[in-house]
Amino acid sequence: MLKVDNINVYYGAIHAIKDVSFEVQEGEIVTLIGANGAGKSTILKTISGLLHTRTGSIHYEGKDLKGIAPHNIVKMGVAHVPEGRRMFSRMTVEENLQMGAFTQPAASVADSLENVYSRFPRLKERRKQVAGTLSGGEQQMLAMGRALMSKPKLMMMDEPSMGLAPILVEQIFDIIKELNQAGSTILLVEQNALMALSVANRGYVLETGRIVLSASAKDLLNNDSVKKAYLGG
Amino acid sequence: MSFLSYLINGISLGSIYAIIALGYTMVYGIAKMLNFAHGDVIMVGAYVCFFAVTRFSLPPVVGVLLAMVVCTLLGMLIERLAYKPLRSAPSLAVLITAIGMSYFLQNSAQLLWTSNPKVFSSVVGNGALKLFDGQLSISYVTIVTIIICFAIIALLLFIVQNTKMGKAMRACSEDKGAAMLMGINVNTTISFTFAIGSALAAIAGVLLCSAYPTLMPTTGSLPGIKAFTAAVFGGIGSIPGAFLGGILLGVIEIFAKAYISTQLSDAIVFAVLILVLVIKPTGLLGHEIHEKV
């Protein structure tokens, strides 16, 4: 479904992503794990068109994404839940969700809203509330709900567990599993490697802009160097 | 009675400032830049209406509509050619470009239409409404200006709160990156914002020259600066703020002229602005800007 082939991405003179290649098959949960600054978010931003590759290519459903503007990539069915959630904090919960459906025909928005509200009843309770006043967990739900409003085929999530209490982290990962079972393909970026690998089919380990290891999630969980570096021994 | 008359004239002048301030504040809110050429778009609008009515003998309403169309296109063209290439440039570069664009428009107007003042004939008609046995006289221009300003504010608030494009504008003003990830075309949204602001500038230009009928290439310059002040005064980025700031600025200016000193009126206006910004740096209705970490 998604094929990233040998991409190199620069921030000015800084070589952030070095010869990175990976794939996501339809129906999979694939995770990119790695420390802060390894380039995980940069990769997602490059796929959604916010950043550009210098060399290499990204194909989504067989189409080269080079030169396609971010808003058109969303239209093709790629949703990106950004790091830090990036709510429209002065808009209400419902308006945030409506923004997520920006690419969708107006007639389908009500159905999508109901769908998101049934998955996240908490958001329905707070539909008229301004998003900036939500708790961290609610904001993450809103960010995920907002992405679902675009009816994505591929959902990319950047650090969904960041800043959340452990019980909420579990809840968020349960939702990720549910979304996947409901048919979404998921590309997950996480610092919480243990959680990410426990839900994923496959994983890639990223170090300073390079993929150093790739294997099934199960194998990565049992890999000694992964254990030492990312799973706390 | 003179107090009431000053107040109404102040609100009317303030309405013009408010309409201009809306253009500054919306563009600032969405593109995060100060479009100092905005004042000169007003002047272009007034010239278009002037020639349409005097040279081509078109009805004033057609003149205004024509001015709106020309200014809308001009505003979008300015954005496309001068500002869009600088989307990721430092804000100082954009500011200097905007000032350059302002001089470019003024000088082009001078070349095209000379610097001789033109006498603008009001599009509203010169009559006045007489109240209280003729003790209070309010010109039709004054009344029409106030009504148009209120109608514009109501329409804009409706667009921004309820339409898809309006919501896209609010999304872009909060977070352009996140807006792109929603599938919003940020370039189109910015272009649309310039279009609205410039159409409003045309209306302001015609109203301004109907009330103060001297039209020159520099006509838009001072009202532009004052309206910018009004936008800051009310809280830049806020539509109700531009409205409030504009009206207050107009009223303060007219009262200062009437009761204190005509020569000092502008100094007084700016002194009030400084005072407000010292007490509330975000302006009257401005949002606190939270730096994201």
Between A15 and B128, the higher pLDDT residue? A15
The pTM for the full model equals 0.90
Percent of chain B with pLDDT over 70: 98
Picking from A34, A30, A32, A8, the residue whose alpha carbon sits closest to that of residue A19 is A8
Q: In whole angstroms, what is the distance from residue A156 CA to residue A167 CA?
A: 22
Chain segment A170-201, per-residue pLDDT in tens: 999 999 999 999 999 999 999 999 999 999 99
pLDDT band per the 50, 70, 90 thresholds, residue B269: confident
**Distance, in angstroms, between B186 CA and closest chain A CA?**
8
Assess B161–A contact: CB distance below 8 Å, yes or no: no
Other Cβ atoms within 10 Å of A221 Cβ, number: 18
pLDDT digits (tens, 9 = 90+) for A210-226: 999 999 999 999 999 89
Q: Which helix (H) or strand (E) holds A15?
A: strand A14-24
**What is the reported pLDDT for B277?**
86
**What is the pLDDT at residue B293?**
36
What integer pLDDT is reported at residue B289 of this predicted model? 54
What is the rounded average pLDDT for all residues in chain A? 94
Question: Do B181 and A70 make contact, defined as CB atoms within 8 angstroms?
Answer: yes
Of B164, B170, B186, Cβ closest to residue A88? B170
Res A121: pLDDT: 94
Q: What is the pLDDT at residue B84? A: 95
Tell me whether residues A71 and B180 touch, CB distance under 8 A: yes
Q: What is the pLDDT of residue A89?
A: 93
A81-96 confidence digits (pLDDT tens): 999 999 999 999 999 9
Closest CB to B167: pick one of A48, A75, A95.
Answer: A95
pLDDT tens digits along B135-190: 888 899 999 999 999 999 999 999 999 999 999 999 999 999 999 999 999 999 99
User: Is B292 a residue whose pLDDT tops 50?
Assistant: no
pLDDT at residue A233, as a whole number: 64
E strands present in chain B: 118-119, 128-131, 136-139, 214-215
Could you say which of B174, B175, B180 has the minimum Cβ distance to residue A70?
Answer: B180
| pLDDT, tens digit, 9 for 90 and up, residues A47-75 | 999 999 999 999 999 999 999 999 999 99
What is the rounded average pLDDT of the residues A15-23? 96
pLDDT (0 to 100) of residue B291: 43
Q: CA–CA separation, B130 vs A46, rounded Å?
A: 67
Q: What is the pLDDT of residues B209-267, one digit of tens each?
A: 999 989 999 999 999 999 999 999 999 999 999 999 999 999 999 999 999 999 999 89
Residue type for position B151: A
Asked which of B63-67, B96-100, B274-278 is least confident by mean pLDDT, the reply is B274-278
Q: What is the pLDDT of residues A150-167, one digit of tens each?
A: 999 999 999 999 989 999
Residues of A in contact with B180 (CB under 8 A): 48-50, 69-71, 74
Determine the pLDDT at residue A36: 87
Of chain A, the percentage scoring pLDDT greater than 70 comes to: 100
- Tell me which residue of B68, B39, B33 sits closest to B52, measured CA to CA: B68
Within 8 A of B168 by CB-CB distance, chain A residues are 99, 102
pLDDT of residue B191: 97
Distance separating alpha carbons of residues A84 and A90, to the nearest angstrom: 16
Q: What is the pLDDT of residue B58?
A: 93
CA gap A49, A51 in Å, rounded: 5
Compare all CA atoms of chain B with the CA of A75 and give the residue at the minimum distance.
Answer: B183
Rounded Cα–Cα distance for residues B217 and B224 (Å): 13
- Percent of chain A whose pLDDT exceeds 90: 93
Phi, psi at residue A55, to the nearest 5°? -135, 165
Measure in Å the smallest separation between the Cα of B240 and chain A Cα atoms. Answer: 15
Whole-number pLDDT of residue A96:
96
Nearest one of B201, B194, B151 to B16, comparing CA atoms = B201
pLDDT of residue B130: 84
Q: What is the pLDDT of residue A68?
A: 96
Burial-class residue B130 by CB neighbours within 10 Å (0-12, 13-18, 19+): exposed
Looking at CA atoms only, how far is residue B178 from chain A in angstroms? 6
Contact A103 B183 (CB under 8 A): yes
B55 contact A CB<8A: no
At A56 the three-state DSSP class reads: strand
**Domains, in order of start, for chain B:** 2-279 (1.10.3470)
Residue B17, pLDDT above cutoff 70: yes
pLDDT of residue B185: 96
Report how many Cβ contacts below 8 Å link chain A to chain B: 65
> A166-191 b/e with 16+ CB inside 10 Å = b?
eebbeebbebbeebbeeebbbbbbbb
pLDDT at A231 over 90: no
Distances in Å between the alpha carbon of A4 and those of A8, A44, A73, A203, B183?
10, 11, 15, 14, 22
Task: State whether B181 and A91 contact (CB < 8 Å).
Answer: no
**What is the token pair recorded at A138?**
């609610």
